[in-house]
Amino acid sequence: MKLGFPWRQVLGTTLVFAVLGPLAGALPWAAMMLYETIHGGHGAVDFNSVVGSFLGLAFFAYLFGLIPAALAGIVAGFARQRWSGWRWVLACAFIGLGVATVYGMVLFVDRRDGAFGSNLLQAAFILGMPGFLGGALASAVLARGKATTSS
């Protein structure tokens, strides 16, 4: 029995976003950690602490980024039916930005003091930047794979 909608494509897109999205979103934080380690002036750096820091970063990237990455993957899977190529990659980047910003604001922004709206730009940068990068990278990998298999 064949369904009218390609559910396998949506589930595959969701899986790729869930696997690649959190790590891609952690890349700017990893770059800042590496820069601080090299140029921070803290003296000798222990290799084990650097590796432990990066493993901890990967753990927390998946802990906080898996749900928004999967949600963005679901939306991107449905959007893949409408757009293709660079338009789809750009749309997925902004889908990731929006989902990560809203998810992060629901979890982390204090709404008791009325700061929900005043911190939108800061939340969009700090919480949405990983979603933007994760969405762009995951969709670029999928778009590249689709282009190479169809030609």
**DSSP per-residue string spanning 59-110:** HHHHHHHHHHHHHHHHHHHHHTTT--THHHHHHHHHHHHHHHHHHHHHHHS-
3-state SS, residue 112: coil
pLDDT of residue 118: 58
What pLDDT, on the 0 to 100 scale, is given for residue 127? 77
Give the tokens for residue 116: 């929900």
Query: What's the pTM value of the predicted model, to 2 decimals?
Result: 0.76
**What gap in Å lies between CA 13 and CA 2, rounded to an integer?**
19
Which mean pLDDT values do the consecutive 10-residue runs of the chain (151 residues) have? 71 90 89 81 72 89 89 86 84 88 77 60 77 88 64 38
